[in-house]
A = this chain, B = another copy of it.
Amino acid sequence: MANTETWLAKAQIGRDALEQSIPRHLIAGISNLPGDDQRNVLHFPEERGVLTPEELDMTSQTVDGLLQRYRTGRWTAEAVTLAFLKRATIGQQLLNFAVEFLADPALEAARSLDEKYRQTGALVGPLHGVPISVKEHIGMKGRICNAGFVCNTDSIPEEDAHIVQLLKKAGAVLHVRTNQPQSIMHLDCNNNITGMTLNPHDRRLSPGGSSGGEGASVAFRCSVLGVGTDIGGSIRGPAAFCSVYGFKPTALRNPGHGLAGIFGGQESVHGCVGPLGQCLGDLIRFQKAVLDQEPWETEPSLMPLGWRDVTLSPPSLTVGIMLDDGLVQPHPPITRALLAAEQKLQAAGIKSVRWQPYQHAEGWDIVKQLYFADGAIRLRSALESSGEPMLPLTEHVLSFASPTDLTVLDNWKLNSRRDKYRMEYQALMKSQGVDVILCPTYVGVGALQGQPKYWAYTAVWNILDYPAVVFPSGLCADKTTDAFNSDYQPRSAEDEREWKAYDPELFDSLPISVQLVGRHCRDEEVLQAAKIVEEAIRKGAKDI
């Protein structure tokens, strides 16, 4: 099997790059790694004392917390970067979330920041000394950019992606590159190069995807912020599954130049770069740090929309609550969390109305066809050129493609359907006075490895090009409260498949996330609304 040898040899290049980059020398041998049967490993660093108390403190900070301590001179960027590299090294052994560590350049960058700070007394930028992990297909100069395909382990960009350049200018320390699935089109995180990333809440479960490495990294606090990408849920899925914060901006705001993947030139449904983080404030800080640099000056296809500092007053806000997209019913914990949120909003005096999903079947149908308007030629030829085996979830997404090849004219017609859908959705929100929609991120609180297949709760907002943020509801799944309804009458085979995937025992005690969505280009308002909604629903959340 010469072919198998070929792809294995190519895959090995990627594995070697990872293996050689892991900075094991920075952290003394970790004894007593949990066995594979230990599901939840989130608190391993604290429990096993593998990091010093100060390192634990460093790695538990938000952006603001770090900046405060840099300003007082309490910590150096070098010390903080070292702490994150150590924690990430542990995280890697438990979760396999990384594709490449950048220990030396990160420490060098940190020392340079410290030096500048010593010289000037001023922080270099709004992300000074903030350790940030970056999804692998966001290119870095001189480093392999495999984009989830074995065939690409010899693909090495000549320059940093635009977003990478901006983050560095803002003072960020990029210390680790993270894993993504084959094709970058799974809501999961497994590939034939560096393999499968695990969910720190339960290692039997998927971390979500495609920015699954980022979900694991941010949840395990291997980084303060993570940079993901999202064309159908790839930031929001991992944020929800790993119980962190994730933001998909409106497309053509954050820069996208220098990203590798199968969708170059595809613009019927724009993918976009966005942050995962520890709190809503950090997502805002990320967006502001990027957009304050006016990326449209370099990348003219972007909209010249700087970040606006907006203030929303709770009484002016109307939240639409969408329990169900009408296609696939969410699992009981999700529904309970949304009903609880509705009560909490009411209690906090925030207006909410029930939002009836508007033709989500149409939105889902359009977006699925548009992903693979090329007939998935790029995807297939990327697999064929190395001979690597197709993973089952790649086969699944290929079922999204139209059974017959689309012509350019078919693509134009889908674009027109999309524009009509956008106009109608917006008109409906305006006519009902709904500012933001609170809804599920996914049918359930999580999924077993290899299982997440239904993306419509996120992808519909991509086709509408609405900004959307995911955050923890403060509630957890409860096998007693959230009973499986075995009498449920499925609406469709898809609905049945997802309903059957609900296992109260498996998902018991996992945190439940929610998604908040707003209109095109109202990114600032959506994040401010999320702050208001989060404050209201987290108040005594455990009482409900």
Contacts and interface: CB of A to CB of B under 8 A. Distances in A.
A291 to B, nearest CB: 14
A1 interface: no
A257 B419 CA distance: 9
B300 A520 contact: yes
Nearest to A268: B267
B264 A416 contact: yes
A40 interface: no
A300 B407 contact: no
Interface string A295-322: 0111111011100000000000000000
B298 A426 contact: yes
Interface string A502-544: 0000000000000000011100000000000000000000000
Contacts of A296: 520-521
Contacts of A268: 267
Contacts of A373: 408
Contacts of A423: 257, 298-300
Contacts of A377: 407, 409
A411 B411 contact: yes
A299 B420 CA distance: 9
B298 A427 contact: yes
Given A265-B416, A423-B299, A521-B304, A411 B408 contact: yes
B265 A374 contact: no
Contact of A305 (B304, B406, B465): B304
Interface in A245-304: 257, 263-268, 296-301, 303-304
A408 B405 CA distance: 9
Interface string A428-459: 00100000000000000000000000000000
A387 interface: no
A374 B305 contact: no
Nearest to A419: B301
Contacts of A267: 267-268, 415
Given A375-B408, A408-B408, A414 B300 contact: no
A413 B521 CA distance: 27
A373 B406 CA distance: 13
For chain A, give the interface size range: 35 or more
A358 interface: no
Contact of A411 (B257, B265, B422): B265
Contacts of A414: 265
Nearest to A417: B265
Interface in A372-422: 373-375, 377-378, 406-409, 411-416, 419, 422
A374 B416 CA distance: 14
Nearest to A430: B297
A465 B413 CA distance: 23
A271 to B, nearest CB: 13
B298 A407 contact: no
Nearest to A409: B374
A137 to B, nearest CB: 16
Contacts of A300: 422-423, 426, 464-465, 519-520
A52 B426 CA distance: 50
B413 A265 contact: yes
A266 B410 CA distance: 10
Given A296-B520, A419-B301, A374 B407 contact: yes
A155 to B, nearest CB: 16
Nearest to A381: B409
A431 to B, nearest CB: 12
Contacts of A430: 297
Interface of A: 257, 263-268, 296-301, 303-305, 373-375, 377-378, 406-409, 411-416, 419, 422-423, 426-427, 430, 464-465, 519-521
6 contacts: A265-B411, A265-B414, A301-B419, A303-B305, A304-B305, A374-B407
Give 8 nearest A-B pairs by CB, closest first.
Answer: A265-B412, A265-B415, A265-B416, A374-B409, A300-B520, A374-B408, A373-B408, A300-B426
Given A257-B419, A267-B268, A373-B408, 15 more contacts: A264-B412, A265-B419, A266-B412, A267-B267, A296-B520, A298-B427, A299-B423, A300-B519, A303-B303, A303-B521, A374-B409, A374-B412, A406-B408, A407-B407, A411-B411
